[in-house]
Amino acid sequence: MNTKLETQKGKMFLAGRWVSREETIDVRNPQNGEKIASVAKASREDMRYAIELGQETFDSLGKWPVHQRIAVLKRVSQLLLENQEDFARTIALEGSKTINEARGEAKRAAQTLEIAAEEARRIQGETINFDQNEGSENRIGYYYYSPVGVVGAITPFNDPLNLVAHKVGPAIAAGNAIVIKPASSTPLSALKLAQIFSEAGLPDGMLSVITGSGGEVGDELVSHPYVKAVSFTGGTDTGKEIKEKTGTKQVSMELGSNSPVIVLADADLEDAVDSSVDGAFAAAGQNCIGVQRVYVEEAIYADYVEKFTAATNRLTTGDKLSEDTDMGPLITEGEAKRVEGLIEEAVSLGAEIATGGKRNGAFVEPTVLVNVSPEATIAKEEIFGPVVMLESVPDLKAAVKRANDVDYGLHAGIFTNNLNNAHYAIEHLNVGGVMVNDSSDYRIDAMPFGGTKQSGIGREGVKFAIELMTEKKVVNFKLNAPF
């Protein structure tokens, strides 16, 4: 199958059809600004039409059989693996990931869809003991999950394929139609995925990928009355704006973070360094669970800083398509300038640059900061770039207190060989996930994924996303004769 077709021709995928528009959006390689493709720039009317066709198709299918959903999802997973290299090249060209990182994302997306196929057969309700209530001895019944109808989803640039799979997979598994608005800077991976869904036999209308501005098509998507559930991954400020427009819809949001890692004196130091360096600089730090703050017990702090800095200096930054590159550019030069400004702000407040700190176009060197003021933005907010701060703490309790001292709570990591220390962190870290003897940057696609505070609402992960995209319906039989 040739997956290189329509995404190069200025089109979008509207309810099973490839359509063009007079206005287009250029997709550029952030490494050099080169135009690699164009896609249709949708209007509010396009989005409305996609949603209405989604509802129409959903209604026409009646109860779409589970075995057909499974067959489509399994076939898409297979096609994705068969075209893994082409998908990986697209991910790397339109986004920030290196070719090796992109291959990993393509493989994960196939796994996400395979999990969705498996979960489709497990969407099961339970019987209810109505006779627990006096006077209901002659009643029996159960509840089951029914699809909501049309799901709206908005995805970011940093995982342009797998995060789309995390929306589409659960929606299709549950029997819903879904309309996706991918990030305007990285729409090609989503369009390629739509293509193989079409090739796999997904009924026309059950999936649309609408490319356009968030202010126009995004607003229509989250506010349209036919859209019963909204799944959003992106920034906290945008998430708050969306929440104001969704009304009574079911909503799941995975938002920003400022993920901490704690390293205690009894930890495997080499492992803690290697895992945290990888967690800080993968995808050029544009990762919601990437390591941003590391709190190190003071007895090993100096050694940790030395080893962490040395490991960071071994990273190779450059051409994303080179097999030898460890880190590529940020998604735009504007984003790189924003990160550069945050580094400069931290330095102005007393921080020292242990390594890195320089910008060249859209590239920012992997940067390690020490002695960062608590008033610096990097200490409080999500930086979404290749910058990490290292801080000495006297003990575990102080580390946990510092880790919790932000308005986010997605993931945290702790390195320790003491079970009591691990459990203290698990109980007291106010986050959605604690990774023991790993950095915050660990996730599998079957686990519940989300956070506390401003890091989001609800949970992703296929099984848990299905809960958002379904309604529990109760059935009760009143029997005329007693048992």
Q: Which residues are catalytic?
A: 254, 288
Is residue 43 within 8 Å of 219, Cβ to Cβ? no
Ramachandran bin of 24, using left for φ above 0, alpha for ψ from -120 to 50, beta for the remaining angles: beta
Residue whose tokens read 């060197």: 365
Whole-number Cα distances in Å, 263 to 179, 379, 420, 435: 43, 17, 14, 12
Is residue 31 within 8 Å of 183, Cβ to Cβ? no
CA distance 43 to 49: 10
Tokens of 82: 């068969």
CA distance 42 to 275: 42
CA distance 92 to 84: 12
Tokens of 287: 């990762």
CA distance 349 to 345: 6
Is residue 172 within 8 Å of 208, Cβ to Cβ? no
Tokens of 348: 């102005």
Is residue 308 within 8 Å of 390, Cβ to Cβ? yes
> Angle CA(188)–CA(191)–CA(195) in degrees, nearest 5?
135
Tokens of 105: 């994302």
Is residue 39 within 8 Å of 24, Cβ to Cβ? yes
Ramachandran bin of 362, using left for φ above 0, alpha for ψ from -120 to 50, beta for the remaining angles: alpha
